[in-house]
Amino acid sequence: MTNSFNVTLAYIITHIGLIFFIYPTDVIESTSQSHWMPVVTAFIFHLVIVFTYLKGLSYFEGRNLVMIMTNRHPLLAWLTLLPVLLYLLDVIILMVRANAEIISIVCLANTPLWMLMLLMLLIPGYMVIRGNVKSLLRLALLISFLFALPCLFVISASFQNIDWRYVLPLIPRREAFNYLAHPSFYKSLFAFTGVFLLLGYFPSFAKVKMKSIFLGGLVLLPMYLISVYVPILTLGEETALQLQYPYIFAVDTLEIDWLMFDRVTVFLLMSLIAFGLLFIGFTIWQIMYTIKYSFKKWNSTLIVLIVLLIVYTVCLCIPDWQLVDQFLQWNTFLRIYISIVTPSIIFVLGLIHHSKVNRELNSI
């Protein structure tokens, strides 16, 4: 089996690929004070669902989500797996469209979006067709080696122009909890719920250690806070609120005299796009594996090509960023359903399986 270190690394960098683009805007929109509160609330929610999910999986000793569900009643299996497939498809569409948009804004303004979106799909699609999940996990190690240091350098440098007075008030007033009723808060959960399902696909291919995953989660918490607070501390809340990609804009204001490159934003963008491509690759593989395991006669390459065609067609039908934002809002219910129902079902089935095994052992 693949080392658990690769799993934890993949868990961390795929999350980082989701954090710095759309997420800061949604959090800043959700509240006008104590922005750490929606971040920490969502992070605790993330830890709870990951714990529930992994605890349930641990009872099945090496079987993954698809194996567990398809060995149960077919109706229960597809009530669980069909929403998962739809959500994974939604995630790919959002990632491809958002990444293509940011690449176009930052460095390839003259390149048509259809070409950028095609590249964003062909690269991870090729990775899935030519390899397997173990190859993707090894690729996570390589990508981390190549891009982690440039990414961390830019994130560290992004504190250059901050004004700490903008951090106040840290102590929330009563109305600070209004973010719980704000749609943007639930949109921001995209950055927390996009990856956790992947952990349920690993047990039959790689070791998944709960302790390592939780330590990886602690590494991610500062990233979530930095992505939100750097734009606020650099530009002020009102200005950051008007921007489509506030963190990227804040990084674009950096001036490092001793660096030979004019724009350090490119280093960050390259790193995040690499992490994002890996995430898209993992997500395509999840869809392919789910369908292939359920319908064994289907060809894996054909499944991947169909997924790529569907995603690309939908992406071409999205004319502007406003529709992307609406799309993100529309799948909020599906996002919350997947986050709560899937871990809960796995946990309950795990408890039932565990008690059944114990009864059989006691009867011997």
CA–chain centroid gap for 297, Å, is 31
**pLDDT value of position 133:** 87
Rounded Cα–Cα distance for residues 235 and 201 (Å): 41
Question: How would you write the pLDDT of the chain (364 residues) with one tens digit per residue?
Answer: 557 888 999 999 999 988 988 899 999 888 887 888 999 999 999 999 999 999 988 888 888 888 888 887 777 788 888 889 999 999 999 999 988 988 888 888 788 889 999 999 999 999 999 888 888 999 999 999 999 898 998 898 888 888 888 887 777 776 667 888 888 889 888 888 888 888 889 888 888 888 889 898 899 999 999 999 999 998 888 888 888 888 988 888 887 777 766 678 888 888 999 999 999 999 999 999 999 888 888 889 999 999 999 999 999 998 888 888 888 888 888 888 899 999 998 998 888 887 877 777 676 6
Which single residue is written with the structure tokens 């939780």? Answer: 214
Which single residue is written with the structure tokens 């992307």? Answer: 324
Domains for the chain: give ranges and CATH numbers.
4-363 (1.20.1740.10)
Which single residue is written with the structure tokens 């039932």? Answer: 352
**pLDDT value of position 261:** 67
Concatenated DSSP letters for 26-76? HHHHH-SS-THHHHHHHHHHHHHHHHHHHHHHHTTSS--HHHHHHTS-HHH
**pLDDT value of position 227:** 92
**pLDDT value of position 2:** 58
> In 3-state terms, what secondary structure has residue 126?
helix
Concatenated DSSP letters for 328-357? HHHTHHHHHHHHHHHHHHHHHHHHHHHHHH
Residues 6+ apart with CB under 8 A from 310: 89
Q: Give yes or no for a contact between 187 and 25, defined as CB atoms under 8 angstroms apart.
A: no
Q: Give yes or no for a contact between 347 and 52, defined as CB atoms under 8 angstroms apart.
A: yes
10 residue type, one letter: A
> In 3-state terms, what secondary structure has residue 106?
helix
> In 3-state terms, what secondary structure has residue 2?
strand
**pLDDT value of position 364:** 62
pTM of the model: 0.92
